[in-house]
Amino acid sequence: MSPLFQSLGLVSESHISIEIYEVWVRVQESGYDLEIIEAYADCCGSFNSIDEILEQVEESYSGKYDSDEDFAENLLIDTCCIPKDLPSYIYIDWERTARDIMMDYSTSNGYYFRNV
């Protein structure tokens, strides 16, 4: 069962709401893959509307990565927190850095979201 539909209360063991079609259309119009929106719903619980979820995904989606370490490294490089000419003798413990960064982020199925 889709975490998205569950988080919106559209599906239960004995009920499927007609509103599922409307939600599906809004997801298609959003430009985000359903997997991204479902990952966000899985990370962040229940919502009042699909518009609320889409707004929060827009604000917090940070990409798809293979690991927390890959995410942390890409985040810090992309935000210019690490200079491109960093000397090779300076070592960054990506596991520890990722652990600290993940206090401000959530992940599901490799999709990363900034906590808002």
Q: What is the pLDDT of residue 1?
A: 62
How, if at all, do strands 111-114 and 105-108 pair? antiparallel
Measure the CA dihedral 33/116/10/19, to 10°.
-60
pLDDT tens series, the chain, 116 aa: 677 777 788 887 788 888 888 888 998 999 999 999 999 988 887 778 889 999 999 999 999 999 999 999 999 988 888 887 889 899 899 999 999 999 999 999 999 999 98
Q: What is the pLDDT of residue 106?
A: 96
Q: What is the DSSP letter of 103?
A: G
Q: How is the chain split into domains, by residue range?
A: 3-114
Q: How many CB atoms lie within 10 A of CB 93?
A: 10
C-alpha to C-alpha distance for 15 and 7, rounded to whole angstroms: 14
Predicted TM-score (pTM) of the model is 0.84
Residues 105 and 115: beta-carbon distance below 8 Å = yes
